[in-house]
Structure 1
Amino acid sequence: MHITLIVVGKLKERYWRDACAEYIKRLSAVAKITLLELPDIDSARVGGVGCAIQKECDHIVSVLPDNAYRVLCDIQGTLVSSEEIAELISSQQVQGHSHFVFIVGGSYGVNEQVKQAVDARISLGRITLPHNLARVVVLEQLYRAHRIIAGAPYHK
């Protein structure tokens, strides 16, 4: 299995990088992990929030692989449990998908262009998470999903 995590912005603080590195290390035992960090766009430098969103989203769409099952983490997406994330991955594997892409947009969110380019939109909850934390949560949930699929006790 191959998992690509596409994120907007870089992690500046060491504790976020360390948390992500830990889950990437754990996941790398069961999957090939690719992290694509795309630059976040300063809205003040490009003519406003709308222009920043468009530039970030153009970049996201430009790096989406055609042959992957693409999942957008979106507060307006379907609210899912850890078990449902595991079921999503498992059912898509049965259908022949071996490459999964998870997308965490920038602080302004994403536009319809990205929403239309994905196969599924999931919500990590109805709360707004800083995208640094969302990245950690996505990686942890992917690791948890693999443990659930394997029948391991981690998810309890």
Structure 2
Amino acid sequence: MRVTIIAVGKLKEKYLVNGCKEYLKRLGRYGNFTVVELTDEPCPANASAAEEEQVRHKEGNKILASLPKDSQVIALDVTGDKTDSPGLARRIENLALRGNSHLTFIIGGSLGLSAKVIDRSHWRLSFSDFTFPHQLMRLILLEQLYRSFKINRGETYHK
């Protein structure tokens, strides 16, 4: 199984960098995991709706240009489908059983994802109604992927 995470924005906080490195190391035994980090677009502090849309559009074009061919695209979107950890594990397992050996998860920038990215996605996944910083979301996603692979292998993991 190959998993690509496309994330807008650079991780700056040391604890997030270290946490992501740790989960990527743990995930290495389950497949090939790659993080593609894209630069976020500058946005004025008091940006208009049009300026925010322009930022999402530019970041969206970078995301679309970075999508691996023939991968199942999963956009992290607050308005997407909600599931629990076993549900995510089942979804990953079902995708693999249907021949989807490459999954791509997309984490947008601080303003979210462009409509083009949402439209290109095969599945929109929401982790919560809460809003998380996009840098923290990367760590949360990696932890949930690790948990999913542990569940699918029948391995124990703390609750």
TM-score w.r.t. length of structure 1: 0.96
How many pairs does the alignment contain? 156
Question: Residues 43-68 of structure 1, C-alpha deviation per residue, up to 9 Å, x if partnerless?
Answer: 23x98212111100011111112211
| Alignment equivalent of 1:90, drawn from 89, 93, 96 | 93
- Unaligned 5+ segments in structure 2 are none
In structure 2, the partner of 1:20 is 20
In structure 2, the partner of 1:130 is 133
In structure 2, the partner of 1:11 is 11
Structure 2 counterpart of 1:12, one-letter code: K
In structure 1, the partner of 2:145 is 142
Q: Once superposed, what is the RMSD of the aligned Cα atoms?
A: 1.6
In structure 2, the partner of 1:153 is 156
% identical aligned pairs: 37
In structure 2, the partner of 1:31 is 31
Whole-angstrom CA distance in 2 between matches of 1:70 and 1:133: 20
Whole-angstrom CA distance in 2 between matches of 1:124 and 1:61: 22
Mapping of 1:62-141 within 5 angstroms? 62-141=65-144
Residues 4 and 104 in structure 2, CA contact (< 8 A), matched pair in contact too:
yes
TM-score w.r.t. length of structure 2: 0.94
Instruction: List structure 1 runs of 4+ shifted beyond 6 angstroms.
Output: none
Deviation at 1:135? 0.5
Question: Residues 94-136 of structure 1, C-alpha deviation per residue, up to 9 Å, x if partnerless?
Answer: 1001111011100000121001111101101110001111110
2:23 aligned counterpart, secondary structure = helix
1:96 aligned counterpart, secondary structure = coil
2:157 aligned counterpart, secondary structure = helix
